[in-house]
Chains A and B, each alone.
Chain A
């Protein structure tokens, strides 16, 4: 099963993250052509099921949400970690 996802719409990290739920049952390959990421799934065992379009689309949206939240909270995380580590390493 092969999916094509527009490069202009998602960061590469989102695509890598979106396939994570399927790694246990599928071999996954991610490549790029001119306009799209090409994501292909191959079952690891004969019984394994490859994701449906709906299932994979949801995972992309989920991944995009996480990625955006990570960007939005990067400063907060850095701030809190600096505070947490101030007693651990020489800050």
Chain B
């Protein structure tokens, strides 16, 4: 029962919510007192929920008297079109007349049926279905961490201008094979039935012994525990990606994802001084990977690449998409620079959030245009938002509440430290270090620091709770801490709200206004992984 009381305290806690905020300024120094105060505050909230006179009429058993209007939020998309959503992620479009009718509670006919279908109006017929859907929406709460990231080295052969991990050739240190094996053993302590082990760096292929040792240990544990394990590896796909290593990765079933920032002039400009010809190396390795794959598999090769948007990319949305299609990569992952590490310092490569949104919209437009020509191109965030809107997807850890930190993912650093999440380890230092591989994983997950980050990532606490896009969105307290020195996100200071809010709004607007876009979206959902 406690969690349900914790999820919605804001509406009844009122001013008390502000008491908890300042105490979270530094998770390191104040985690324990903050949690004590927070628990006190939550207890008060729960008491107020229980003692307050019921605004929603309930029968003697506490069941709401139906029909009743659920808590819904609305947002105007433009052209007199509104979207209304509820906590489970169900939603519907409304025109201005319907919006006004909903506000006044004047429901009848077609509108009433649509509101019932989208759980905005709760009735005897749909209440159980809504509760079941709400349970599915928060189902990940029962899973335990599924993504386990092994940072096998801080070293990289490149010095990319936006690198949020600040990796460089000169950095020393690397995960030993013993630490890699122990980290995998800790990962298998997760309550989840299946897990993904992801290798990151630096450039993880510079410490291939650790990668190999981790995979071998994971396969042994998979057999012993009957848990299902998948592997992925993030590489820059240059010199360290030798044919021998790529063949091993394919044989081991590792999904390889690499950086490709667009055409050669953009890609190479992002790789830093003194690393010419990286685009050429990536293209060569795509060819090698394809050849090795086809020699071993009958299924078509799946190439996974990520594009990081810098200031240099902004005028070249079409060229970026074309550079992917030219290499046979139809799945394009456009992401903004994460303002950490060199990405925080490099003012020359960063931009305002609306500039990124405009770039992303151009990419989406061009992806839809190429699909008209028969190329089955896809953009990853577009696909993700569609999945959230239409299939109730709640696995993507950046866009959910609470976020993935500790709850969905754990990071094992090369020195044996355990961190809340990828962003937490990139910040480094003790603030988001929640434990060590010498202790059971549960100790790290139950630590005060882990709890503080989880609590701070619950959008139910913030103004987000009134936003129509909340069921599809999320906050990152770790990034906010890096930028503002507090774990409690403030939407007035957050580019993230602008970026993801605008993306969700754009997808819904396209869906509402364009039958062509709608047809492509339907096909994208059918073809989605």
| A→B interface (CB under 8 Å) | 11-13, 16-17, 19-21, 23-25, 28-30, 44-45, 48, 62-63, 65-67, 69-85, 87-89, 91
Contacts and interface: CB of A to CB of B under 8 A. Distances in A.
B492 A76 contact: no
Contacts, number: 135
Given A20-B467, A23-B497, A44-B354, A28 B492 contact: yes
A25 B501 CA distance: 12
A84 B72 CA distance: 17
A73 B70 contact: yes
Interface in B50-76: 52, 54-56, 58, 62, 64, 68-76
Contacts of B14: 11
B26 interface: no
Nearest to A25: B354
22 contacts: A11-B14, A20-B501, A24-B353, A24-B501, A45-B355, A66-B73, A67-B466, A69-B71, A70-B10, A70-B71, A74-B71, A75-B58, A76-B64, A78-B5, A78-B49, A80-B70, A82-B1, A84-B132, A85-B138, A87-B135, A88-B141, A91-B1
A27 to B, nearest CB: 9
B430 interface: no
Contacts of B62: 79
B529 interface: no
B142 A88 contact: yes
B491 interface: yes
A77 B387 CA distance: 24
A65 B134 contact: no
A65 B103 contact: yes
Interface residues of B, number: 55
Given A24-B353, A71-B12, A82-B4, A77 B492 contact: no
Interface of B: 1, 3-5, 7-8, 10-12, 14, 18, 49, 52, 54-56, 58, 62, 64, 68-76, 87, 103, 130-132, 134-135, 137-139, 141-142, 352-355, 357, 463, 465-467, 491-492, 497-498, 501-502
A29 B492 CA distance: 7
Chain A contact residues, majority secondary structure: helix
B12 A45 contact: no
Contact of B135 (A20, A29, A69, A88): A88
Given A17-B466, A20-B491, A73-B55, A85 B3 contact: yes
Contacts of A87: 135
Contacts of A74: 8, 11-12, 49, 52, 55, 71
A65 to B, nearest CB: 7
Contacts of A89: 3, 141-142
B352 A45 contact: yes
Nearest to B497: A23
A16 B463 contact: yes
A32 to B, nearest CB: 12
A19 B58 CA distance: 35
Most buried by A among B4, B10, B355: B4
A1 to B, nearest CB: 16
A85 B133 CA distance: 11
A48 B354 CA distance: 10
A35 B70 CA distance: 34
- 3 closest A-B pairs by beta carbon, nearest first, are A84-B134, A73-B71, A82-B4
Contacts of B55: 71-76
Given A13-B466, A84-B134, 14 more contacts: A20-B491, A23-B497, A25-B354, A48-B354, A62-B74, A67-B466, A70-B11, A70-B466, A71-B11, A73-B71, A76-B64, A78-B4, A81-B8, A82-B1
B466 A84 contact: no
Contacts of A63: 466
Nearest to A72: B55
Nearest to A62: B74
Nearest to B505: A24
Nearest to B142: A88
Contact of B354 (A21, A24, A85, A91): A24
A65 B63 CA distance: 25
Contacts of A11: 14
A84 B138 contact: yes
